Structure 1
Amino acid sequence: MSEPTDAVIRPMRPDDVALAERLTAEGFHELELRMAPRWRPDPEPRPVERAAAWIARTRHFLATDPEGCWVAEDASGMVGVVASYNREKCWALATYAVRPGSQGRGIGKPLLAAALHHGRGSLRGMVAASSDPKAARIYRQAGFSLHPQMFLAGTLDRSALPVVEKVREGSLADVELMDSIDRRTRGSARGVDHELMAGLWRLLVSDTSTGSGYAYLDGHGVRLCAASNRRTATRLLWAALADGPEQATIGHVTAANEWAIDVGMAGRLALHQQGYLALRGMRPPTPYLHDGAFL
């Protein structure tokens, strides 16, 4: 049984965001160290550039959905944080953490409940969940179906890269196209999120008479990919790998997206399992690779 808590759950404020970033960095690093397989190198703490992106992203969610962002405080200060948002009747959890050392005190459940209340009118829900059994239990009890995730990683065999055509640089002029693709794959558009994502990451777009799609890339690989059909999604993923680092990763792959597994294996990447895509009121989107926060 959890210990009783004296923590207070309150709405997040703009001046909370920097401290919340440090709390989540500490919490996720502890989780990754605890859950990482022995064969993998020890996870590194969140680097400075990702900390800045986390802060920008959370300020964005706080500005667009203040009722979805909460913190927990006790006499020692901030001990928990959650950020969530609604987009066209789809609720998504962007981040959720309790400070290591404060877990098991009954803080996490009411903190998540505050965020879930923000999505009470939404038809669908999405969470990128870790492999932590406690987190999986919480999401399942909240009514989410747990879909195991996979990822592919390794040294990319560049001799396997095909010639990729019909992929161009994207811009905010493509938001209407991307929103249309998202409504088709996940049932809801991102709208205001594209302005931030396009500022953080590189955008690739493919728009032909036979299919359309887009992908966001950072310096480590593809962050998100969505398309109207698997052929277009495959084309975009190959383009992302071609422009990415030698040590490639394709993350957040569900069983509904075997096209991404085929691409990764063709590039000689190894397949692994990690975490869940937790969904409520919807099936796993396809062809689709989600981001951990923008989902």
Structure 2
Amino acid sequence: MNIIQNVAVVSTGTVAIRPEHVARPSTPMLWWLATSRRWTAPRPINVYVIEHEKGLVLFDTGQDRASVTDPDYFPGGLNGHFYRRLARFTIGPEDTLTTQLARIGYDIADVTAVVVSHLHQDHIGGLSELTHARILVGRAELDAARRRSAELNGYLEKHIFLPGLRWEPLADELDLFGDGAITLLPTPGHTPGSLSALIRRAGRRPLLLVGDLTYDVTLLEQGIIPGVGDRAGLLASTRHVAELAAQHPGLVVLAAHDPGAQRLLAEADRP
């Protein structure tokens, strides 16, 4: 029996980032962030949609359109300057999470669980529409989002801790439905509480959703880590992914901003 009926990907707009963000340079982040003059081509802001026999699950919730329409969405001052230096977003009226789900035949009201890879703002944009669902997130991630330095580290508290959200903090692995189909795994490095999700499907290749552990799976395979996050943690989680690939032949790794993710998922769906 196929417990996972379908896995799909939608995108809530696009983001351009610095090349140094994608592949870690030798210079410190604050240096390249302050001096880089280059941007990547627009990259997707992916949300993965997993149709399980026990409910509809999202992995991440994308970017809020308000981030490009509300002048007060981002902080001001020096912190706001760094946010503007880090990323450029393009999000149209049709790029909301609700609209993108409807485009592929799903109603956001039917989402039963949301796995948030981490709490940076391009992964939490749909949370305000998901107060009816379980919200699973790393315990260390919630702790990081409450620290005094949270805003400088990419956490916008006013967009995270919304009224009515049903947080379920995780400190370890979790078999989401107790059937081995969706296993949540700590993969810290990009942030302290980053999560990945291993998806096992009958008759299809296994999938590993990794959030921002990488921005390009070809770089991940080469052991090249991104420029944002803790180096030792990123390297350790990259090794963990390699171990998972050895344990699960044919494993397909899908990242939040990899332009090749949609193609990789389509190829993984072929019998």
TM-score (norm 2): 0.29
The structure carrying a bigger strand percent of its residues is: 1
Q: TM-score, normalised by structure 1?
A: 0.27
Structure number having the greater helix percentage: 1
| Greater Cα radius of gyration, structure 1 or 2 | 1
